[in-house]
Structure 1
Amino acid sequence: MEKIYRLAKREDFNKVYRYGKSMANHQFVLYYLPQPKLEHFRLGVSVSKKVGNAVVRNRLRRMMKEIIRLKKENMTLHYDYILLARKPVVEMDYAEMEKSIWHVIRKASLLKRNDVIKK
C-alpha cells in the first residue's frame, strides 16, 4: 500500500479508537473516523499476538493490506480506517478473507455508492 494510504502513527490510531465508530463480524473489526481534510483514505492494520506468532501475524497483515489495495477505489474517501483481525482469520484462505473484509466494510456502509464487489 502506498505511503499516502497508510495510518501509521500511534496518535492517529488512538484518535480513531477513541472518537471513531466500529463495525464487526466474526473475523474482523473495522474502526473508522471521518477526516474531511484528507483527499483520500488511510488504513491501519492490526493483528494481536493472540492470533498467532510473528510469521502468522505478518502474513495476515500483508493479505489484509493487499485485499484493500486491489480494490481501493471502492473505499469511501475522507476516512481513517483500522482493520483488526480476530482469531478465526487464521484458518481462512485468501478468498474467504476477502469476502469477510468487504462484508464488514459494506456492513458499515463505507463502500462508494453504486459499487458492487464481485463475490
Structure 2
Amino acid sequence: MKLPLKSRLTRHDDFSIIKKCGKKVISEGIVYYIYRNNKNISRLAVVVSRKFGNAVLRNRVKRLFREAFRNHSKEFNEFFDVIIIPQKEMLRKCHLVYISIEKHFLSALVKSKVI
C-alpha cells in the first residue's frame, strides 16, 4: 500500500524549516529530523544519497521506512513532520528487512518522545 500524497513532504521550504527548527536524532547510522506541525496529518520524507548504494538499494530503504511510518503514524502523540536520512554506515549496523528498519524507526521515535 502506498503512502498517501498528503502524508509526503515535498516542498523545499518545509525541508528547510524542519532541518532548522526540528529535533535531530541520530540512531544506528540514521539521521532523523522531527518537527511538530500544525496540520491534521503527519508527513514523511526519506532522503537517500547516491553514495548509499545503487538505485535498487536506495529504493528498498525508502520503501521500508515509508511502510514503517504508515503502520505507526497513528500512534504518534501529535502530528509531526519526519525527515529520515539513512547514512551508508547503516548498512553495517542493520539488515535491510522490515523488522530491523521498523525497530530502529520506533526506537528513534521513542527517543524523541513522539510515541
Q: What 5-or-longer segments of structure 1 have no aligned partner?
A: 112-119
SS at match of 2:44: strand
Equivalent runs, 1:76-115 vs 2, <5 Å: 76-90=77-91, 92=95, 93-111=97-115
* Offset from partner CA, 1:69-112 (integer Å, 9 cap, x none): 1222112333211111122433512211111111111111111x
CA RMSD of aligned residues (A): 1.5
Which residue of structure 2 lines up, in the alignment, with residue 115 of structure 1?
Answer: none
Structure 1 moving runs of 4+ over 4 Å: none
1:28 to 30, 37, 46: 30
1:48 matched to 2:52? The reply is no
1:9 matched residue in structure 2? 11
CA distance in 2, matches of 1:52, 1:69: 24
Asked if structure 1 preserves the Cα contact closer than 8 Å seen for 2:33 and 2:83, the reply is yes
> Which structure shows the bigger proportion of residues in helix conformation?
2
Contact 1:28 1:104 in 2 (8 A): no
User: May I ask how many residue pairs the two structures share in their alignment?
Assistant: 110
What is the TM-score of this pair, normalised by structure 2? Answer: 0.85
Q: 1:106 to 1:88 in 2, by over 3 A?
A: same
- Residues 25 and 32, structure 2, Cα contact 8 Å, conserved in 1: yes
Deviation at residue 42 of structure 1 after TM alignment: 1.0
Identity rate, percent: 28
Deviation at 1:11, TM superposition (A): 1.6
SS in structure 2 at match of 1:62: helix
Report what 1:114 is aligned to: none
